[in-house]
Amino acid sequence: MTSDNRIDLGLKDAGAGCACCAPSTAASGTAASAQTKPTDGSVTAHVFVSGMTCSHCVSSVTEELTAIEGVDDVSVELSAGGASRVEIRSSAPIADAEIQSAVEEAGYTLARVSS
Protein backbone atom coordinates (compact mmCIF):
# COMPACT_ATOMS: atom_id res chain seq x y z
CA MET A 1 0.00 0.00 0.00
CA THR A 2 1.39 3.37 -0.93
CA SER A 3 0.69 6.69 0.72
CA ASP A 4 -1.43 7.61 -2.32
CA ASN A 5 -4.07 5.13 -1.15
CA ARG A 6 -4.43 6.64 2.33
CA ILE A 7 -7.44 8.63 3.42
CA ASP A 8 -6.55 11.87 5.20
CA LEU A 9 -8.73 12.29 8.28
CA GLY A 10 -7.41 15.80 8.90
CA LEU A 11 -6.37 15.09 12.47
CA LYS A 12 -2.66 15.80 12.13
CA ASP A 13 -2.96 19.14 10.38
CA ALA A 14 -5.92 20.40 12.39
CA GLY A 15 -4.25 19.66 15.74
CA ALA A 16 -7.31 17.60 16.52
CA GLY A 17 -7.49 14.09 17.81
CA CYS A 18 -8.61 12.49 20.96
CA ALA A 19 -6.92 12.54 24.33
CA CYS A 20 -5.53 9.06 23.74
CA CYS A 21 -3.84 10.27 20.53
CA ALA A 22 -3.11 13.95 21.20
CA PRO A 23 -1.72 16.04 24.06
CA SER A 24 -4.11 16.67 26.94
CA THR A 25 -6.18 19.84 26.73
CA ALA A 26 -8.29 19.34 29.84
CA ALA A 27 -9.78 22.59 31.06
CA SER A 28 -9.78 23.58 34.68
CA GLY A 29 -13.37 24.87 34.63
CA THR A 30 -16.08 23.15 36.60
CA ALA A 31 -19.45 21.81 35.58
CA ALA A 32 -22.09 20.33 37.84
CA SER A 33 -23.75 17.06 37.02
CA ALA A 34 -27.51 16.65 36.76
CA GLN A 35 -28.35 13.83 39.17
CA THR A 36 -31.73 12.15 39.42
CA LYS A 37 -32.96 9.28 41.56
CA PRO A 38 -34.84 6.54 39.67
CA THR A 39 -37.42 4.35 41.39
CA ASP A 40 -34.95 1.48 41.98
CA GLY A 41 -33.02 3.53 44.56
CA SER A 42 -30.01 4.27 42.37
CA VAL A 43 -28.88 7.76 41.35
CA THR A 44 -28.27 8.67 37.72
CA ALA A 45 -26.05 11.57 36.69
CA HIS A 46 -25.77 12.89 33.13
CA VAL A 47 -22.75 14.90 31.99
CA PHE A 48 -21.15 15.82 28.68
CA VAL A 49 -17.48 15.11 28.05
CA SER A 50 -15.47 16.65 25.21
CA GLY A 51 -12.52 15.19 23.42
CA MET A 52 -13.61 11.58 22.99
CA THR A 53 -13.44 10.29 19.42
CA CYS A 54 -13.09 6.50 19.62
CA SER A 55 -13.82 3.38 21.65
CA HIS A 56 -10.48 3.68 23.45
CA CYS A 57 -11.54 7.14 24.66
CA VAL A 58 -14.84 5.70 25.91
CA SER A 59 -12.96 2.91 27.72
CA SER A 60 -10.62 5.38 29.42
CA VAL A 61 -13.44 7.57 30.72
CA THR A 62 -15.54 4.56 31.74
CA GLU A 63 -12.61 3.04 33.64
CA GLU A 64 -11.92 6.23 35.60
CA LEU A 65 -15.58 6.85 36.44
CA THR A 66 -16.27 3.27 37.53
CA ALA A 67 -13.30 3.53 39.89
CA ILE A 68 -15.26 6.10 41.95
CA GLU A 69 -16.70 4.47 45.05
CA GLY A 70 -20.43 3.86 44.67
CA VAL A 71 -20.53 3.97 40.85
CA ASP A 72 -22.40 0.93 39.55
CA ASP A 73 -22.45 1.56 35.81
CA VAL A 74 -21.33 4.07 33.18
CA SER A 75 -22.67 4.35 29.65
CA VAL A 76 -21.44 6.69 26.94
CA GLU A 77 -23.15 7.99 23.81
CA LEU A 78 -20.05 8.82 21.76
CA SER A 79 -20.20 11.99 19.68
CA ALA A 80 -16.84 12.03 17.90
CA GLY A 81 -15.63 15.59 17.58
CA GLY A 82 -18.31 16.92 19.91
CA ALA A 83 -19.46 16.50 23.48
CA SER A 84 -20.35 12.89 24.33
CA ARG A 85 -23.23 12.22 26.74
CA VAL A 86 -22.18 10.15 29.73
CA GLU A 87 -24.66 8.51 32.10
CA ILE A 88 -23.33 7.53 35.53
CA ARG A 89 -25.45 5.25 37.73
CA SER A 90 -24.51 4.98 41.39
CA SER A 91 -25.88 3.92 44.75
CA ALA A 92 -25.60 7.49 46.08
CA PRO A 93 -24.97 10.95 44.59
CA ILE A 94 -21.40 11.46 43.38
CA ALA A 95 -19.73 14.81 44.08
CA ASP A 96 -19.27 16.94 40.97
CA ALA A 97 -15.59 17.36 41.83
CA GLU A 98 -15.11 13.57 41.81
CA ILE A 99 -16.71 13.28 38.39
CA GLN A 100 -14.62 16.13 37.00
CA SER A 101 -11.43 14.72 38.50
CA ALA A 102 -12.07 11.27 37.00
CA VAL A 103 -12.82 12.70 33.56
CA GLU A 104 -9.68 14.85 33.65
CA GLU A 105 -7.60 11.92 34.90
CA ALA A 106 -8.69 10.06 31.77
CA GLY A 107 -7.47 13.07 29.75
CA TYR A 108 -10.76 14.68 28.75
CA THR A 109 -12.84 17.74 29.63
CA LEU A 110 -16.11 17.82 31.52
CA ALA A 111 -18.05 20.02 29.10
CA ARG A 112 -21.49 20.66 30.55
CA VAL A 113 -24.52 19.31 32.35
CA SER A 114 -27.32 17.51 30.57
CA SER A 115 -30.64 19.27 30.69
Q: Give the other-Cβ count within 10 Å of 16's Cβ.
A: 14
- For the chain, the average pLDDT equals 78
Q: What would the pLDDT profile of 59-69 be if each residue is shown by its tens digit? A: 999 999 999 99
89, burial (CB in 10 Å: exposed 0-12, middle 13-18, buried 19+)? middle
Report CA torsion sign: 101, 106, 110, 113.
negative
C-alpha span between 89 and 83 (Å, rounded): 19
Which domains, and CATH codes, for the chain?
A: 31-113 (3.30.70.100)
For position 102, what pLDDT does the model report? 96
Report which of 92, 102, 80 is spatially closest to residue 31, judged by C-alpha positions: 102
For position 42, what pLDDT does the model report? 86
Of 4-8, 35-39, 79-83, the poorest mean pLDDT is in 35-39
